[in-house]
Amino acid sequence: MYHQPVLKNRRTLLERAEKFISDVYFTDCNLRGRLYGDSSPLETLSSFLSSKRITFTEASRQTFGPYKVGETFGPTWWTCWFKVTLKIPASWKGKEVHLLWESDGEAMVWRDEQPVQGLTKDGEKTSYILSDCLTDEDPHSVTLYVEVACNGLFGAGQRSMIAAPDPNRTFSVQKAELVVFNHDVQDLLTDFEMLVDIVKELGEGEQRSYQALFTVNEMVNLCDPSDPSSFSKAHSLAHIFFSQRNGESQHTAHAMGHCHIDSAWLWPYEETIRKCGRSWVTVIRLMEKNPDFVFTCSQAQQFQWVKSWYPGLFTQIQHYVKKGKFIPVGGTWVEMDGNLPSGESMVRQFLEGQRFFNHEFGIHCKEFWLPDTFGYSAQLPQIMQGCGISNFLTQKLSWNLVNTFPHNTFFWEGLDGSTVLTHFPPGNSYEMKGKVEELVKTVKNNKDKGRANHSAVLFGFGDGGGGPTQLMLDRLHRVQDTDGLPKVQTSSPDQLFSQLQADSALLCTWTGELFLELHNGTYTTQAPIKRGNRQCEVLLHDIEIASSVALCRNKTFQYPVEKLQELWRLLLLNQFHDVIPGSCIEMVVEDALRYYEDIRRDGAALLHDALGALGSAGTSPGVFNSLPWERHEVIQIQDGAGTPCLALARVPSIGVSPVKDTQPSAPVSVTSQADGTVVMENGILQIVVNNDGTLASLYLIDADREAISESCQGNQFIMFDDVPLYWDAWDVMDYHLQTRKPVVEVVQPPHVVSSGGLRGSVRFTLRISERSTITQEIVVDAMCPYIQFNTEVKWAESHKFLKVEFPVRVRSPNATYQIQFGHLQRPTHRNTSWDWARFEVWGHKWADLSEHNFGVALLNDCKYGYSVHKNTMTLSLLRAPKAPDVNADMGTHHFTYAVMPHTGSFQEASVIQSAYNLNFPLRSIRCPADTEPRSAFSVSAAAVVLETIKQAEDRRGALVVRLYESHGSSVTAALSTALPVREAWHCDFLEREDPTRPARITPEGITLNFSPFQIVSLLLIL
């Protein structure tokens, strides 16, 4: 009797199975070649080209001309609309009928005036289902419209994904026809694919791998692609294999549909709106067919866009949110950068996001969702907790260049001690495809084996949208509980984190920032965006404070609720994690700068109205101070004849004062020396400026201390070569430090612009290269503890990095950097790989290097990149990457930095206040000459900063104030106010009152206790 030979050659059996499902080889006789049955041409196909993104209503009214498959259209960023008329053959009764559509642009199918399906070849979506099983009652003649964007899933980069877009790319439709789709073939292909992958991923050391190999080989033997009746036997074999269950201890993968859509990146904001429409309508179609399917979706801004552009789709989304299937996550307006936005901006991300989700869907997010940003501030845990969020998901630290982060599931402890349960999916991706490889990686990579036995598997095409496919769902369904692989359960963030919390007894804790060891060029790239962000944060702060005080002082004043929300939302949008970092194309930069201009223009009008209401219609010069301490500063005003002049103003905390003609205790003097140097002095500091603009000396007079290192110069501009490995706008590599070249060519040596009195200044110009120059004015003001460097750079470089260095006479193993609502320390040495990886770090308005009783602070008005190595303090100024924006940072830049030597600690020396003063200008107002200086708010403890005063979101006649402890100390402070406050309550950052925590009002003010870096919000009822 004949016995079939038992073959044991692993390679031939495996390759046999691979070729049996290949879409390249043997498609004439393999299974893949049978995926589609009969085909039928479209009745008509016509097109219309638009340079703008227009509505369906407008498009459907246009004149369409004939189009032949293969003809090209474009250019990049245009839209081609197609009108499709089709007739399904009656003979296809009982068959599944698809419109097969392949184009190299992203497409949306419209039917009956509604969007019904997104189509993207890159996203493996090339067909629209006309009928699951054609019946006589189904419409056989159908008219569809297909809106094709002239860009791909990742924009239109020239020769590489992240290169600047090719503006003249043309696009085409390669396939447009009716086909019969053989679902039984697709089911069997999925069986084969999963088994082949199990063979490969489990490897030769695993028995289960061989079981899969022999199963799949036997399936090939049983399956005749030309005879569908043979399919069931092969499918049964696969089913037996997949049904062999796991043991109880197996890891559980929580599968959640996901579609990361960058709000702007390699495409403009406006295209993102359509990406959301295309991706989310596809998700709704999948939900209709797969009742268990769960989809997670972040970014309130994107929901807002869909609501206004696709109202019918938004209604369907609301329906599935109610069913718990379409799950809004994250709680923020956009997935913002985790480093650069201010503390208040981060609070507003959550305030706007959570309020939107609550208003539209009746939910509050319990997890912060930020998979793709470039590092995470140490204040985020406290901000999350203050916004009702105790869980956090990301995966970006898997991109670390130097060190492998030691955990996947852990407690993250922030600056103040707040903790959040944190999960990094061990598959190291937020766009999995439901493949065996990803499931195996999820188990293998889990760095908390034995401590955490549950992980997220986020599946769906992402970054440029696309989202999940039916094939991904089918793959995961096959291996729900299959021996050798983790268990797979359809899940939600809530289920995952509940399970992780329940099993959290052995989890580790990570304290402090989550620093990404990559993309640290983003602290500097696109300087105009950084400047716009800082200036607009300052402006909105001042508008809210002036408006809040005006509300109480002036009965007719209306708080600009709607306009402020509109401006805040624009600012928050620009804090998206590819916009504020500068890692976006030029079109996005132009949009962002236009939004900043809108905020500046409309904000200036709001501030003018509020300050007008405060000034009580006088004509004498006055000044408004939006900061919570008294300021004594030189300002520019206009005299009676309207001529600009300087004055020394003293103004109380959060208050107004007329400008009096007062003189400083020590006037400024500026003297040119015979050797070409210039000496500047204001009674606090004495500076010697060399004839190349560097500082020979920075001397703190009362302390008798020199701040500049011996035989070194301060204010030394340095150029570096800046050629990263790939991510041009994103990365600066450690090796750039080996290319240091001082800028030494003097075009115009220092000359005196203002010789003293209230202000002294010296100006000079240096040449960086044939194309670039630096012009700088060094300014010393009376009574001011720092010197300012007002800088203009004409910049036309390529792959260069400009920094400025201050080698100082300070020795300390750590430097301190301001972050959101506080500060943290980072090493100045390179002992370990963790220290070395921080060769370029981020900070906000100041960095300080101090030893006992003496230090030097570096302040700035719009920069975020720093480096302090040993005793050299460096501020990063400008980069010149060429991708994805070939013109990044080209042009003229204006910025100010300052240097401040001090005795004592930086806390005692008021470095924090000085950095605020540099950033928040005293605002000129007109007031009656006899106006008494008056303060609306003050705080008794120097350690406590009153950061925010605004009208409460949901109650007129109530203010919200936000304070934080800035020194890193435990302190009791009294908040005093001249405003008519009836009662005060503690509230969270979403402004929800805590009825168990009234704040006691005494004659001295409201007494508050702070622990280090604690943020406190109060609701003040007027």
Phi and psi for 260 in degrees, rounded to 5?
-70, 120
Known active-site residue 166: no
Q: Which pair of tokens denotes residue 78?
A: 């245009």
Are 533 and 599 spatial neighbours (Cβ–Cβ below 8 Å)? no
Which is the catalytic residue, given 191, 197, 372, 722? 372
Closest CA to 926 of 690, 679, 722, 623: 623
Q: Which pair of tokens denotes residue 346?
A: 């981060």
Q: What is the dihedral of CA 517, 521, 526, 527, to 10 degrees?
A: 100
CA distance 623 to 611: 9
Distance of CA 31 to the CA centre of its chain: 45
* Type and span of the H or E element at 672: strand 668-672
Contacts by residues 908-914 (CB-CB < 8 Å, ≥ 24 positions apart): 909/785, 909/855, 909/857, 910/785, 910/942, 911/846, 911/848, 911/857, 911/859, 912/818, 912/823, 912/846, 912/945, 912/966, 912/967, 913/627, 913/629, 913/942, 914/785, 914/786, 914/846, 914/857, 914/859
Q: Which pair of tokens denotes residue 388?
A: 């009702």
Q: What is the 3-state secondary structure (H, E, C) of 206-266?
A: CHHHHHHHHHHHHHHHHCCCCCHHHHHHHHHHHHHHHCCCCCCCCCEEEEEEECCECCCCC
Residue 343's Cβ-count burial label (10 Å; 0-12, 13-18, 19+) is buried
The SS3 of residue 17 is helix
Closest CA to 217 of 21, 412, 405: 21
CA distance 782 to 650: 13
The SS3 of residue 423 is strand
The SS3 of residue 34 is helix
CA distance 780 to 763: 12
The SS3 of residue 135 is coil
Closest CA to 647 of 630, 660, 631, 629: 660
Does the N-terminal peptide bond of residue 1003 adopt cis geometry, omega within 30 degrees of 0? Answer: no
Burial string for 141-171 (b: 16+ CB within 10 Å, else e) reads: ebebbbbbbbbbbebbbeeeebbbbeeebeb
Burial string for 808-837 (b: 16+ CB within 10 Å, else e) reads: bbbebeebbbbbbbbbbebbbeeeeeeeeb
Are 50 and 78 spatial neighbours (Cβ–Cβ below 8 Å)? yes
Which amino acid belongs to residue 451? Answer: R
CA distance 420 to 363: 20
* ∠ Cα 297 302 304 (to 5°): 120
Residue 505's Cβ-count burial label (10 Å; 0-12, 13-18, 19+) is exposed
Phi and psi for 753 in degrees, rounded to 5?
-100, -40
The distance in angstroms from the start CA to the end CA of the chain is 99
Closest CA to 699 of 708, 690, 712, 691: 708
The SS3 of residue 625 is strand
The SS3 of residue 382 is helix
CA distance 312 to 122: 26
* ∠ Cα 201 207 208 (to 5°): 55
Q: Which pair of tokens denotes residue 615?
A: 């000034």
Task: Point out the residues that are catalytic.
Answer: 372
